[in-house]
Amino acid sequence: MEDLALIEAIANDDRHAFNSLFSKYYHPLVVYITTFTRDVPSSEDIVQQVFISLWEKRHKLEGLKSVKPYLYKIAYNTFIDQYRKTKNQDLFLEELRQDILRAAITENKDQQERRILKLKKLINTLPPKCKEILELNKLRGLNYKEIAKKLNVSEKTIEAQMRIAFKKIRLGFEDDKLLLPIIFRKFSKKIKLQLVYKFNK
């Protein structure tokens, strides 16, 4: 079966067609992505994500004119996204390490817990949309553009809502010089985990 016929069948939930396309392009895509990653397991993860995405978006594939370039483009874009996240994560981990070293000198676990509870209370007093945007950015790691697309609003709206949130938190912690730098870069991993846990209770 030709590629376009496979795509048409996949768009109609044909798993056999999906498996055929997977078998045809999986290995070539892994080889292609490995030229960038130089790591086969990482390349395999990326290519698997490509096909997961393809299946999830299968109902939007009708009208696709060329399958091979489409798959290679998705694979490359997935690699780029992962590369950027890895770089950002490396930077975040170094910042977090420095934050932890500073915090360990000046505070104990009870102090940390009080700060987290205070932060939770402040966030819960925000307007619903403002709170949602803050959580998407600081707890889930989405940037302003991603949040704007997800909520179908402008980036300026996101920026305005984040300013409201930051002002509220800044006022709440204006006498706490240790936590503010962490908040305005990114909530620390520990704070994120505890906030997520508390919000879901």
What is the full DSSP assignment across 45-86? Answer: HHHHHHHHHHHHTGGG-TT---HHHHHHHHHHHHHHHHHHHH
Q: Is the pTM of this model over 0.75?
A: no
| Distant-in-sequence, close-in-space partners of 15: CB < 8 Å, separation ≥ 6 | none
Residues of the chain with pLDDT > 90: what percent? 12
pLDDT bin (cut points 50, 70, 90) of residue 29 is very high
Among residues 6, 52, 85, 58, the alpha carbon closest in space to that of 44 is found at 52
pLDDT at 95: 56
Considering the chain, tell me which residue range(s) the CATH 1.10.1740.10 domain(s) occupy. 3-85
What is the mean pLDDT of the segment spanning 179-188? 46
What is the mean pLDDT of the segment spanning 162-174? 80
Report domain 108-199's class.
Answer: mainly alpha
Report whether pLDDT(5) > 80: yes
What is the mean pLDDT of the segment spanning 18-36? 90
CB 147 within 8 A of CB 135: no
Considering the chain, tell me which residue range(s) the CATH 1.10.10.10 domain(s) occupy. 108-199
Distance of CA 185 to the CA centre of its chain: 16
Q: Going by CATH, does the domain composed of 3-85 fall within 3.40.50.300? A: no
pLDDT bin (cut points 50, 70, 90) of residue 66 is confident
pLDDT at 87: 65
